[in-house]
Amino acid sequence: MKKYVLLAAFTSLIFAASAQSRWNIGVHTGCITNISKFESGDEEANALFNNNQYHSFSLGVDFRYRISPKFSLVSGLSFTEFGFSYGMAKDYSLLEPRMNDEDITASTCITSLPAILVMNTPTNCRNNRFIFGAGFVVRGIDEQWENTNTHEVTAYEASNSKSTMMTSQTNSSSGVSPAATWLIGMEKVLKKGNTLSFTFQGTQGFTTIAESTVNYTASNKNYTHTFINRGSFVSFAFAYNFSPFGTRKANKLLQNTVK
């Protein structure tokens, strides 16, 4: 009789394992820093002019497929703002942190579809583990995006004899583009199989997706610079992954087996 009970329990465990899917869904958000690069125009810029890094946030949904206890494949859909930011240096207090002087900004949304292979280490006694990942991303932006901005610069700010205008003309140059991506971080496995992770991520675009030309006058001299943006950025991201599909069903089967 004991053998039949053990056989029934073993069979229930098999069904419980099969009831738990390899798929789970999650959400993520993060703060990003996007970088643009000088392309053409005047190579020498006035000391007062700044081409600032563009700071924004990202938000997305992740789908994770567990290949094995150590590897998983992550895809999904994410939305990120990227763009250009220009400014003329201002006086500042030494008693306070210096902030970027943003006189002109131009931005749009970029949609990303990633495919990332993620490797995790075994969990420690606190159910924490390291995660590493690398893969590719297909991104898309509005092919018709155009933006024109103007900003009045006082004579004092730019060391000019009179007030002048800073102008920028920005437009997209590619609708769909590829990029490489990577991540490294820590992940906390919770009781029900759901996870919390904090990662440092990077994305490197291969092609130019937008360009911007800025004109300004400083020290009574006219300047023109053209910058390009490949959608490359680094970010600190926070993600929450729900327990795998079928986990509740599997737990109920295990509870019935124990009873």
Q: What is the pLDDT of residues 51-107, one digit of tens each?
A: 999 999 999 999 999 999 999 999 999 999 999 999 998 887 888 777 767 889 999
Q: Cα separation of 254 and 164, whole Å? A: 74
Whole-model pTM?
0.82
- Give every CB contact of residue 91 below 8 A, 6+ residues apart in sequence: none
Largest CA distance in the chain: 101
- Give every CB contact of residue 4 below 8 A, 6+ residues apart in sequence: none
Token readout for 123 is 């969990």
Token readout for 114 is 């990633």
Domain 22-243 has CATH 3.20.20.140: no
Q: What is the mean pLDDT of the chain?
A: 87
One-character DSSP codes across 94-156: TTS------SEEEEEEEEEEEEEEEEEPPP-TTSEEEEEEEEEEEEE--TT-EEEEEEEE-HH
Q: Cα separation of 91 and 88, whole Å? A: 10
Residue 246 has pLDDT above 60, yes or no: no
Q: Please report which confidence band the pLDDT of residue 250 belongs to, taking 50, 70 and 90 as the band edges.
A: very low
Amino acid at the residue 233: F
H or E segment and range at residue 239: strand 233-241
Helix, strand, coil content of the chain in percent (nearest 5): 15, 60, 30
